[in-house]
Amino acid sequence: MAVASAVDPFAPGSDSAPTPVPLSVVPSPPAPVPPSLFAPGFTAKVNLLTDLVLVVAALLTSTTLMGHDLRLERTDVWVLLGVGVVSWLVSGTALCLYDTRFAQRERLDDLALLSVQVLAVTAVLFVTRLVMGTESWIVALSLFPLVLWPSVALLRLSVFRRLAVREEPLDEVLILGVGAMGRLTGEDLHHKHRRKVVGYLKFSGESSSVETPAPVLGTTKDLESVLCTVPVNEVYISGNLVKHHPEMQAAVKVCEKFGIPFALPAYQMRFDRARPVDGNAISDGYLHFVTHAFLPHQMALKRLFDIVSSAAALLVLSPLLITVALAVKLTSRGPIFFKQERVGLHGRTFGMLKFRSMVVNAEELKAKLEALNEQTGPVFKMKNDPRITRVGRFIRKYSIDELPQLINVLRGEMSVVGPRPPIPKEVAKYAAWQRRRLSVRPGLTCIWQVSGRNQISFENWMYLDMQYIDHWSLKNDLNLILKTVPVVITGSGAS
């Protein structure tokens, strides 16, 4: 095994702390996975859909091979298919089978996870069938893992892992420091961990003539202004603790204020034999920090819930959606939908969809009505807004105009629960601490929606969003959804 190169930060001529390369005696697993989406990336999504098809095919094949007449037990088959699909989704989420860096796992580790997944789903199907009461199916289900495992394993190893490696990076990072450590960190993140470096910031005393893998955007003093304009998933603070301690501390404070995850060098000393107790925690040479509870499995389940619930809601509510679309089109001039640029996770913009509830030139008329704004802060709210149409007033009162945002949820731009997405002009007026509400994915409903909506001041609104972020859990999300239903039905606090 090759010896890792480590730079002594106290050696003469050294301009940085040790390089972010793990020690030679420590295995090199993938970089720590941040709170992730459910099956992020195109390859992971195709892999998931393919596996679900294989689960259904394996169930049908195993029962057919045992000579069962599926027409006589069609209800039982549908129940087992539903249980098989749901249990595959839930267990796959719990095992992080389709997470951001599944292609960087060791092949044997990936096979082990797939094996556990197949066995877990088989066990759930066995229990389900026993509860339903037909023991003759037990023999048929015993063939299920024998049919399923080879197919999912073969496709995973021979196709999807190779495709995932070729995909463009999903995460964008900013690196502080243009010294040896910063440059090596950028190369390591790009080649090994599928992360795109969007830029560098220099520490004081660092040369401006060195070449870096990405452009130099300024100095560390510019960090706050850069984070206001450049969306990033994480900040790597690649400084020397002896030389750059004040600047590193200031950078940490800015990241905490904005709610941006950050990483600090794990190695500030030179080691010959010592090894970390947990190599996974510092596999890329950094300690990673987040500003709220680190619950990756719950975050993945949250994304799974968003996908299933938004797809089901669009299907069930399709008659209402069609009726509202016709009403909007027939009662006022203009398009059915209103697409507005909003600011999402970490400052990335997206087009938020709504049923059009205002006249076509509403944005032009807004400038004339600014003096009548009834909301404090940068947000514009007006109880009797003259721009709202007759149909628009009704659908706004009961939040029906927001239903097209289920498409945004399905696409991953929004979540069912989260702070409401602001418009860019509002974000430009935010105080630094208020930008932390952009550290989570925006949602259809949050604490603000169930606490009075337009009757709450802007500053209290921001504090409620911070409260949601600091105390987030799946349980709290479910409670907010249950509280939202009566608010929507009664139209409480809406205008």
**pLDDT for 434-468, tens place per residue?**
999 999 999 998 888 777 666 678 888 899 999 99
Supply the pLDDT for residue 155. 93
The C-alpha angle 429, 433, 437, rounded to 5 degrees, equals: 85
Residue 69 is predicted with a pLDDT of 46
Q: Residue 137 corresponds to which tokens in the numbers above?
A: 């199916």
User: Cα 170 vs. chain centroid, distance in angstroms?
Assistant: 11
* φ and ψ of 29, to 5 deg: -75, 175
- Which is nearest to 104 in space by CA: 24, 51, 165, 43? 165
The H or E element that residue 174 is part of is: strand 171-176
Phi, psi of 174 (to 5 degrees): -115, 135
Query: Looking at per-residue confidence, does 377 or 260 come out higher?
Result: 260
> Domain 171-289: which topology?
Rossmann fold (3.40.50)
Region 414-430 average pLDDT: 92
Q: What residues does CATH 3.40.50.720 cover in the chain? A: 171-289
Residue 376 tokens, joined: 């404090």
pLDDT at 303: 86
Residue 408: closest CA among 361, 460, 354: 354
Of 93-102, 119-128, 258-267, give the lowest mean pLDDT range: 93-102
* Predicted confidence band of residue 35 (pLDDT cuts 50, 70, 90): very low
What pLDDT, on the 0 to 100 scale, is given for residue 353?
92
Checking if the pLDDT of 67 tops 60, the result is no
Q: Which among 211, 180, 184 has a CA at the least distance from the CA of 15?
A: 180
The DSSP line for 413-428 is S-EEESPPPPPHHHHH
Distance CA 342, CA 424 (A): 6
Q: What is the mean pLDDT of the chain?
A: 80
User: Counting Cβ atoms within 10 Å, is residue 454 exposed (0-12), middle (13-18) or buried (19+)?
Assistant: middle
pLDDT at 7 over 60: no
Name the pairing type of β-strands 286-289 and 171-176.
unpaired
Q: What percent of the chain has pLDDT over 70?
A: 80
| Structure tokens, 52 | 């679900």
Prediction pTM value = 0.72
Name the pLDDT band for 138 (thresholds 50, 70, 90).
low
Q: How many residues does the chain have?
A: 495
Place of tokens 């030679």: 24
Give the per-residue pLDDT at 453: 63
Alpha-helix residue ranges (DSSP H) falling in 430-495: 458-470, 474-490
Alpha-carbon Rg for the chain in angstroms: 26
- The pLDDT of residue 206 is above 90: no
The answer on pLDDT for 15 being more than 50 is no
Distance, in Å, from the CA atom of 425 to the CA atom of 407, rounded to the nearest integer, reads 24
Strands (E), 312-468: 337-343, 349-355, 415-417, 443-445
